[in-house]
Chains A and B, each alone.
Chain A
Amino acid sequence: MTLLQPLTERILGSRTLAALTSPHGVDRYLEQINPMWAATEVRARIVDVNRETDGENPVATITLQPTSTWRGHRAGQYVQVGVEINGARRTTRCFSISSAESNPGEQFSITVRAHEEAKPGQQRVSKFLVREAQPGQLVHLSQAEGRFTLTESPATPTNNHLLMISGGSGITPVMSQVRTLLRDGYDGKANRRVTFLHYARSAEEQIFAEELNRIAWQDNGIDVHLRHGDEYFSAEALAKLVPDFKDTDTWACGPAPMMSLVADAYGDSPRLRTEFFKLSTGTPVDGDSVEGEVSFTRAGRTATNSGASLLEQAEAQGLTPEYGCRMGICFSCVSRKTEGTVRNVLTGEESSLPDEDIRICVSAPVGSCSVDL
């Protein structure tokens, strides 16, 4: 099978096969036979769902067996995961990979905290993965993305001191990094040190508690510092652990308030690498009140929300987005809303999902909103 793989890949990726399966492409046929067969798309089957913590917002690690098209990941990267929820609607979100670096086609896992819905009727991907996902289910993936990766590996050893700072579920990418270092023999024998500082709301909400405990006790050059409770990140506390932290290669990932404290502490130090995701969506506003600001990100313009459709507001700003019918039927004006809530002026339906494709001619912002125009 492994010998055949390169040959299969060459055939599946060939121009002839592409021409024969035009205009749909090879994958549209392969998926009809077996959803785990693919030439370019990446999908995965859930092989295990393991609850890490319980409580109001439980956390679970989901192990995935990807299709052979998965190109592997570097520690610290994330992947887009699309699941079908709410009656066949596929919703896609980004999750950091928590397992050690994977090779092409290899299993990997993501660790997810179940967030509550911002509003009823909009089920969160995270909640679905933690509470409802079952082994055997299929999810849609992107390739691994992101540049929050280690600059060194056991293959190119240095005696640089590495510092990882994380908060809450921001532990996932740095966990992948620590696991990769340990797996690949980065054991501290050559005076290499790793400091791992993590903030969790409580001991009960500490993700990977057992494993971190083990890592802390082993002779591996990795110092684990777990902070539970109300203690926030502070430059003073960090300086006690790592006096020259500004000159130490640092990877930090956590909730936005913590990340701004970290950024302040490091100033303009180039040693700090950060990662954070858009978590919350726009806060829904009551009734018909018109407020907030509309940002047209590509044009770099911001204006006060007038309550009109996004197409009209864009035009009022002198932009010329593509449009057709101006009544929501022809889909010429579909654009990407990156943040905020919009109301469909025909149906009254509101939607707050980030990175959502909307028809701007029939979508009016409810509160602040950003569109890729």
Chain B
Amino acid sequence: MATATSIETPRKKNDNKLTPEQIEAFGNEMDAIRQRLIGELGEEDATYIRGIVKKQRQFEVAGRALMYLPPAWPLAVVALSVSKILDNMEIGHNVMHGQYDWMGDPGLNSRMYEWDNVCPSDQWKYSHNYIHHTFTNILGKDRDIGYGILRMDEDQKWHPYYLGNPIYASLLMVFFEWGVAMHDLEVENIVKGKRTIADNKALHSGLMRKIRRQAVKDYLLFPALTGPLFPLTLAGNATANLVRNIWAFNIIFCGHFPAGVATFSEEECEDESRGHWYYRQLLGSANITGGKLFHTMTGNLSHQIEHHLFPDLPARRYPQIAGEIQEICQRYGLDYNTGPLGKQLFSVARKICRLALPGGRSKAPEHGTEQPVTLAA
């Protein structure tokens, strides 16, 4: 490994729990589920996503309209926050994964959808759909491990900079959509000299255009339309963006960073088989338990495991197959990392704080209680 990176990757991070034959059989079972789901796609999925889009539009219009009634300000903020969360997660994230491309509806097509977020969709799709979903949790390849600013894995080499880990994480939470937008500029690689500022030139115009549009809408036009209520509306819109930022950050961090989630070295994933890819997706993700409404509000990313196994299949299918995936994991003796939101959040927060300090190859974090529920014996 090049010394220029801050990652000291051991040649092998995980003791393979399965033989190559078992991994292949596991992959075949996953492929069979995939095949079955593709065969089932149809009207139900279309009706579902169209219903969500309708609700999102209604919440948005209600949120914008209620800004005219100062006593209803909190309600307006709630409605607009829900609108932005639905737009970014259950609609935007999932549509841009191509989950609904089969419908042939340009309004729900991965190549045409643009979300209510300062990050331009084409830049996000590159770093997310390609880099993150292909190289999930491979240290040195998946830039979503710490997003280039945090130390989220023991094998990221410690540096005094990381003493600020909890502060950076809090800032990233508050400004999450901006963090997502800046993600593609790969600032950490510019600092390391692996990328030049010129490499980013092509991204600037698209990024600035999107930022301008989002800012004009939320911080100028809609406030101006409410006349004397301008400051109140501006504050309301900013709050809705903040609520969405905090929510999205927390859900996403619970999907990959609770204790027990595995990371992989590049060597482990060389010439990877399809079965091993599935195996890595499973071990590299974590779920959050909750009710139906909760799952919808997370864009079904509360089923991060199922999402990573089948990123291009409609997210509403994930809860339907979760039981089946758990059962398969049990048979193969593989961890299925899941737990309630509070537990997963606590686990993530602990990791952020712990890894601010040197070392931290945390061997099974303190017996039992803090460990997420695992089904493996």
Q: Which positions in A face B, CB cutoff 8 Å?
A: 16, 19-20, 22-24, 28-29, 32, 82, 84, 86-92, 324-325, 327-332, 334, 346-347, 349, 357
Contact = CB atoms under 8 A, between A and B. Distances in A.
B35 interface: yes
Given A19-B221, A330-B134, A91 B104 contact: yes
A91 B46 CA distance: 14
Given A28-B57, A32-B53, 17 more contacts: A19-B217, A20-B217, A20-B225, A22-B213, A24-B116, A32-B57, A84-B104, A86-B42, A87-B43, A92-B104, A324-B130, A329-B311, A330-B125, A331-B125, A331-B129, A331-B312, A347-B34
B221 to A, nearest CB: 6
Given A23-B114, A28-B57, A330 B129 contact: yes
B222 interface: yes
Interface of B: 31, 34-35, 38, 41-43, 45-47, 53-54, 57-58, 61, 97-98, 101-105, 107, 110-111, 114-116, 125-126, 129-130, 133-134, 210, 213-214, 216-217, 221-222, 225, 274, 277, 311-312
A332 B53 CA distance: 25
10 contacts: A23-B114, A23-B213, A28-B57, A29-B61, A87-B43, A88-B46, A89-B102, A324-B134, A327-B134, A330-B134
A334 B111 contact: yes
Nearest to A326: B134
A82 B57 contact: no
B222 A20 contact: yes
B101 A331 contact: yes
Given A19-B216, A88-B103, A346 B114 contact: no
A329 B280 CA distance: 15
Contacts, number: 96
B104 A19 contact: no
A244 B103 CA distance: 51
A87 B45 CA distance: 9
B129 A89 contact: no
A357 B101 contact: yes
Most buried by B among A84, A90, A327: A90
Contacts of A87: 41-43, 46
A172 B114 CA distance: 39
Contact of A329 (B61, B126, B312): B312
Contact of A324 (B42, B97, B126): B126
A20 B216 CA distance: 8
B104 A89 contact: yes
A29 B58 CA distance: 9
Contact of A332 (B38, B101, B115, B130): B130
A45 to B, nearest CB: 18
A20 B133 CA distance: 33
A16 B111 CA distance: 25
B216 A88 contact: no
Nearest to A23: B114
Contact of B214 (A22, A29, A327, A331): A22
A283 to B, nearest CB: 24
Contact of A90 (B42, B58, B103, B129): B103
Contact of A24 (B103, B114, B216): B114
Contacts of B45: 88
Contacts of A20: 217, 221-222, 225
Given A88-B103, A90-B103, A92-B104, A330 B31 contact: no
Contacts of A23: 114-116, 210, 213-214
A85 B103 CA distance: 10
A331 B111 contact: yes
A92 B110 CA distance: 18
Nearest to B54: A32
A27 to B, nearest CB: 8
Most buried by B among A24, A86, A90, A328: A24
Nearest to A85: B104
Contacts of B98: 331
Nearest to A21: B217
Given A28-B57, A327-B277, A90 B104 contact: yes
B39 to A, nearest CB: 9
Contacts of A90: 103-105
Nearest to A17: B221
A241 B48 CA distance: 60
A60 B42 CA distance: 28
A345 to B, nearest CB: 11
Contacts of B46: 84, 87-88
Contacts of B47: 88
A330 B133 contact: yes
Contacts of B213: 19, 22-23
Nearest to A86: B42
Nearest to B50: A88
Contacts of B31: 346
B133 A329 contact: yes
Contacts of B103: 88-90
A28 B134 CA distance: 32
B105 A28 contact: no
A124 to B, nearest CB: 14
Nearest to B110: A331
A96 B31 CA distance: 43
Contacts of A346: 31, 34
B41 A325 contact: no
A347 B38 CA distance: 9
A328 B312 contact: yes
Most buried by B among A86, A325, A328, A347: A325
Contacts of B210: 23
Nearest to B46: A88
A320 to B, nearest CB: 16
A371 B35 CA distance: 25
A28 B104 contact: no
A92 B109 CA distance: 15
Contacts of B312: 328-329, 331
A82 B214 contact: no
A212 B41 CA distance: 46
Contacts of A82: 104
B226 to A, nearest CB: 12
B352 to A, nearest CB: 29
A329 B134 contact: yes
B231 to A, nearest CB: 19
Contacts of A347: 34-35, 38
B35 to A, nearest CB: 5
Contacts of A329: 129, 133-134, 311-312
A237 B45 CA distance: 57
A3 B205 CA distance: 41
Contacts of B221: 16, 19-20
